[in-house]
Amino acid sequence: MNATNIENGILQRIARKARDILHKEKRTAAGNGTTEDRKEFDIRNGILMKYRGTDEDVIIPEGVTRVGPMAFYGRESIYSVTFPESVTSIGDSAFDGCVNLYRIVLPDGLARIGRFAFHGCSSLRNAQIPNKIIWIGEMAFHGCFNLKSVVLSKGVSHSRGWKFLDEIRLRGVLLPEDDLSIGDGAFNGCSSLSSIEIPESIVRIGKKAFYYCSSLDSVKIPEGVANIGDRAFDGCNNLRNVFFSTPSVVSGLPISKDLNLFYLGGPLADLPEDCREPASRGFLNAQEQSSTDFDGWRAEYLEYIRNHAGAFVHFPMKNKFYLFFFIREELLDENGIRQLLDQYESTDDVETKAALLQYQHEKFGTGDTANFAL
């Protein structure tokens, strides 16, 4: 690191320290209701109608209950905003166009965020949604392209209409650790949502909770969830892996040829017949990762795959790991052997062809034994 970089780093730390000191002084001033505040803030009957200041770090005075529509509209100088606990509502387009707004601290008592409230706040990095929120207007966070994380407070996931997550193209959501339920339609239509970590405290997933979350590819259902609401995962066309421990939850899953079920709670026989094939695909996928989760029921899974060999032949056709796994566990039927021999016919992979021919001969008494030798 050269001298210039060191000097710049020192200056940045000094600037941050000065900002923190100023922030504390302004908080004190805001609490005291100084004359300067009255000039900067147009407040009428508890409603902040307009902010006329030029500060980078704004602390809204105590006693304000509502931030009015367009109160901070287009204020490009603002870097951060801190709200008093008295604020319960943020009006339509209140911070629309505040392109340099980087940080917001929303009050716990906030119940309403209006339409376009933070529209175009392209520097905003994160937001924690308070648990008393009952309504978020359309396009409230639209254009917040740098918003990387949204933390939902306890109880928030009971609410409906988190379409705003899709409007900001958010990929991940963190739910509170002690919440109990994901409400009906909670993430309905959040087509950009690709990952969500459901806390172990959750016991209920409501109807259409993840309806048409078409980017969601994997989900783990907590052990305490006994049932999943109707159509909770309908339209999740990219959902490939579901991990669960309670067999009754499968009634709420969209069973398809592309879905892998990872049942971690017991034997394959616990599951309905139409879930045993996707569960066996889950078992096979786990083998490539050297998972021990299925060791107690390994023989049962292998027997099912052996008896339904045609449904799983794409695994050994996919790579060598599965090919030799299927040979070792004697999972291939005659038709599967023929398909694999056809696949390797035009290759120079003598070892694999020899292994297939030997398996064919020993298992079914057919094959060209002259080709066993390499």
Give the list of residues 6+ apart from residue 205 with CB closer than 8 angstroms, or none: 181, 182, 198, 221, 225, 228, 229, 232, 252
Q: Which long-range contacts (CB under 8 A, 24 or more apart) does 187-193 make?
A: 187/162, 187/211, 187/213, 188/160, 188/161, 188/162, 188/163, 188/212, 189/163, 189/213, 190/162, 190/163, 190/165, 190/166, 191/166, 191/215, 192/165, 192/166, 193/165, 193/166
Q: Which amino acid is at 212?
A: Y
**Can you give the pLDDT at residue 259?**
96
Query: What H or E segment, with its residue span, contains residue 105?
Result: strand 103-105
**Per-domain residue ranges for the chain?**
308-374
Task: Round to whole Å and give the CA distance between 102 and 303.
Answer: 57
Whether the per-residue pLDDT at 238 is higher than 90: the answer is: yes
**Can you give the pLDDT at residue 27?**
47
Residue-wise pLDDT for 248-270, tens only, equals 999 999 999 999 999 999 999 99
Residue-wise pLDDT for 83-106, tens only, equals 999 999 999 999 999 999 999 989
pLDDT band at 159 (very low <50, low <70, confident <90, very high): very low
Task: Round to whole Å and give the CA distance between 359 and 62.
Answer: 80
Q: What pTM, to 2 d.p., does this model score? A: 0.71
Question: Dihedral through CA 289, CA 295, CA 300, CA 306, nearest 10?
Answer: 30
Give the list of residues 6+ apart from residue 328 with CB closer than 8 angstroms, or none: none
**Can you give the pLDDT at residue 42?**
96
